[in-house]
Amino acid sequence: MVKPSLWSRNFLIWWLGNAQSSLGSALAGIALSFLVLKQTGSAGAMGVNLALSLLPTLFSPLFGTLVDRMPVLPPLVLGNLLRAALQLGVGFAALRGPVPLEALHTLALLGGLASAFYGPASMGVTARLVPASQLQRASGLMQGSTQTLTLLGLVGGGLLVSRLGSGAALIFDGVTFAFFAALLTLVRFPARTLTDVRAGFWSEFWGGLRYATSSPVLWGLPLLALLINASFAPMEMLLPKRMLALGTGAAGYGLFFGLMVAGVAAGSLFLAWLSERASPRGLSVAGLAGMGLCVGALALTRSAAAMYPLAALLGLFNAATNVSVGVIFQTRVAPEYFGRVGSLLSMVGTAGQPLTLLALAPIADHISIAVIFAVAGGVTLLGAFGWAGLLRADPHPAPEVSPPALPA
């Protein structure tokens, strides 16, 4: 019997479109951060801008319900076109001269809304385009290409912004989104059963919330995701100014995050090789504790060269935490609640960054960066002990159902 092939035209388009879009987004992240910093000189203003781009994720469960009532293709194309228009608009404006801070904040908020709409629409697309027997391989290729091109974008983005400015990088990102939207029109998605619009929206919503709070691990998972993202928020906010002070600028900033992404990729591949030989529960605690120690150690560094090894270690520990949490999620959540619990995890987890950024914005220019890193590392380390306690209190440590596949 011939094994079904992974390499259909539909999957190739989806895979390559995602990959090139990831490259553009990595470039744009650096470009926008340094555009705000260059025009204001304030780490606090940059923190507000980052927070505004992330805040719309709070509405992801509502957007998820909306896109479930639509065919697959329209929200995917519309989401990419919206993001293309926003990036092209701010990119061309930056080429002409300074962009008002209010406009940059507004564009960050609108871009976040477009991404919050697109995210739920993209979940599960890979599973619709490849045979079931090829899903694991396809998911690995998607994640591998995304991590690799994000790494290239972070390293190359710093050099591009240093030499050509933020406007060129933002325009490139807009082009990648527009190109992806055009490619998607060539994909033939199979028909799917849409959510019954007659079903009670809020009854389904609250039913999922009740299930998500029914055990220590289920309500602890979103809190753990929040803590992971909150521990990264000070770095995105403070590192550009720190790198400028150390004389490395955008190139050093890009290299730091590039090394961190490389650590995530290497750690993920290593854990995939380990497979069931590693305990997800123990690994999640060790990974979170390692992240806390790395963030705290950044407070002791006095040069960019000393920060780079910590970036790679932070990526390795982040991979350990995220991979193990993914396994716990798949084996602990009943399949019929996967979407609702997953969107809640995403919403609460992502909220960690904007909430931390908004809390730090008023004091970021008045308190030592070393103090902020030390506090963030300590809080993350305490969170590891709290998570270990929740795992011990879980009444059902072993999976009761077959693990469902994570959304693409």
pLDDT in tens, 126-171: 767 777 666 556 665 676 677 677 767 766 767 777 777 778 778 8
The pLDDT of residue 307: 92
What is d(CA 96, CA 114) in angstroms, rounded to the nearest whole number? 25
CB neighbour burial string for 386-398, b if at least 16 within 10 angstroms, e if fewer: ebbebbeebeeee
Helix (H, G, I), strand (E, B) or coil at 97: coil
pLDDT in tens, 78-114: 888 988 888 888 888 888 887 778 888 888 888 888 8
The pLDDT of residue 286: 93
Tell me, yes or no, if the pTM score tops 0.85. no
The pLDDT of residue 404: 35
pLDDT (mean) for 307-336? 78
The pLDDT of residue 263: 85
The pLDDT of residue 285: 92
Distances (CA, A) of 296 to 335, 363, 376: 38, 19, 7
pLDDT in tens, 270-295: 766 665 666 778 888 999 999 999 98
The pLDDT of residue 401: 36
The pLDDT of residue 315: 86
How is 322-371 classified by DSSP, letter by letter? HHHHHHHHHHHS-GGGHHHHHHHHHHHHHHHHHHHHHHHTTTTTTS-HHH
